Amino acid sequence: MAQACEKTLTLEEISVSGYEKIIRVLNPEVGLHAIICIHSSVIGPTLGGIRIYPYPNEEIALKDVMRLAKAMTYKSLLSECSWGGGKAVIIADPKVDKTKELLSAFAEAVHQLKGEYICAEDVGCSPEDVLLISKTTPYVVGLPHEKSSGNPAIFTAWGTFRGIQSALKKIYNSSDLEGRKIAIQGIGTVGFELARLLFWAGAHLIISDLDQKRCLELQQLTGAVILSTEEILKAECDVLAPCAMGGILNSRTIPLLRCLAVAGCANNQLLNDSDADELASRGILYAPDFIINAGGLINVSLELEAEGYSPIRARNRVNRIYDQLMVIYKIAEQNRFSTHRAALSFGDYRLKYQIGKRIEPPYFHHASM
């Protein structure tokens, strides 16, 4: 089977200005149609998750992977992880089409890139899926075994929790969550974990998900109020935490918001950069997504360092998200522009002067097992 996959696997380059390399990956024999996008490897080899999603067509998938890969460049620059920005999307329904053969064929494509792109889990792709991918290629992180860092989602949730605390500190001059109302859109892997952290810190939770069973389960654990996927955006709350899909902050939804801050883990929350200006003009504090959700990246990064993975170092590094956001809020305030713009300029500066460029090659400790 592996040989048949290799024979029919094709990698074709798609040229798009502003992106280093975009590759269409096809293997019709196993139903694989994927795109690997390398936005920038100026600072280091690229690292980013694999999203498995039933995109209606390639054009939409391409647009998504390009935005996600670019966000990874900035996420790494701002979190000082010394990676480039890359991402992959597989056009497939993870519930129906995600076969062992499909993942193995994708893994072969990753392997052919010889470490230019290091992959991890993302929406639709579990740590068990990346474990399977690691049977074909070492260029994988976030595996569920002792020489790896495991599921990054817990660290993403912790970083988002710290980000919510930073937003409260900016608004109320206190990061205390006791009695604060937090609305979470999407209680998947990260959102669910985040909700539990917020619950124990004393927050009142308002939640929403397409999956009602998950909502009921979390309600039982935390007493959260459940709202519909549309109503959650209009919830009167201190912080709205988008933890589902991207593009949720746009010209239609922003006028509906009744929160003081937006601080959640979803990637690419703004449909357009200008949506950040609209949030700022309405006095809504925005925690830039590529800073607040860097916990998972920081966690997986550590397993590629010479000394190997350490959850304690990972936690301590993720804790810094709080201070990084406080700095961004201050820059934005001083310059009278949006927090998103402040974060982008910070990243552009680091990229221009190649600050934090990787010197050491990554160590794939799990591959030596």
Ligand X SMILES: NC(=O)c1ccc[n+]([C@@H]2O[C@H](COP(=O)([O-])OP(=O)(O)OC[C@H]3O[C@@H](n4cnc5c(N)ncnc54)[C@H](O)[C@@H]3O)[C@@H](O)[C@H]2O)c1
Residues engaged in binding ligand X (CB under 6 A): 122-123, 152-153, 156, 185-191, 208-211, 214, 229, 243-245, 265-267, 293, 296
Least distance from ligand X to the Cβ atom of residue 55, Å: 14
Handedness of CA 153, 157, 158, 159 (dihedral sign): positive
Nearer to ligand X, 159 or 362 (CB): 159
The CA-based angle 363-50-322, given to 5 degrees, is 75
Residue with tokens 């500190």: 169
Spatial separation of the C-alpha atoms in residues 314 and 343, rounded to whole Å: 22
Spatial separation of the C-alpha atoms in residues 339 and 341, rounded to whole Å: 5
Residue 37 burial (CB < 10 Å; 0-12/13-18/19+)? buried
Q: Which of 21, 75, 87, 98 is catalytic?
A: 87
Least distance from ligand X to the Cβ atom of residue 251, Å: 17
Nearer to ligand X, 9 or 290 (CB): 290
Q: Which residues does residue 32 pair with via DSSP β-bridges, in sequence order?
A: 27
Told to judge if 114 belongs to the known catalytic residues of this protein, a careful annotator would answer no
Least distance from ligand X to the Cβ atom of residue 352, Å: 25
Distance of CA 155 to the CA centre of its chain: 11
Residue number, nearest CB to ligand X? 188
Nearer to ligand X, 44 or 188 (CB): 188
Nearer to ligand X, 156 or 338 (CB): 156
CA-only gyration radius of the chain, Å: 20
Least distance from ligand X to the Cβ atom of residue 95, Å: 11
Spatial separation of the C-alpha atoms in residues 346 and 208, rounded to whole Å: 33
Least distance from ligand X to the Cβ atom of residue 177, Å: 20
Nearer to ligand X, 84 or 188 (CB): 188
CB burial of 188-206 (b: ≥16 within 10 Å; e: otherwise) equals bbbbbbbbbbbbebebbbb
* DSSP-assigned letters across all residues of 82-101: --EEEEEEEES-TTTT--HH
Spatial separation of the C-alpha atoms in residues 269 and 81, rounded to whole Å: 22
Provide the annotated active-site residues.
87
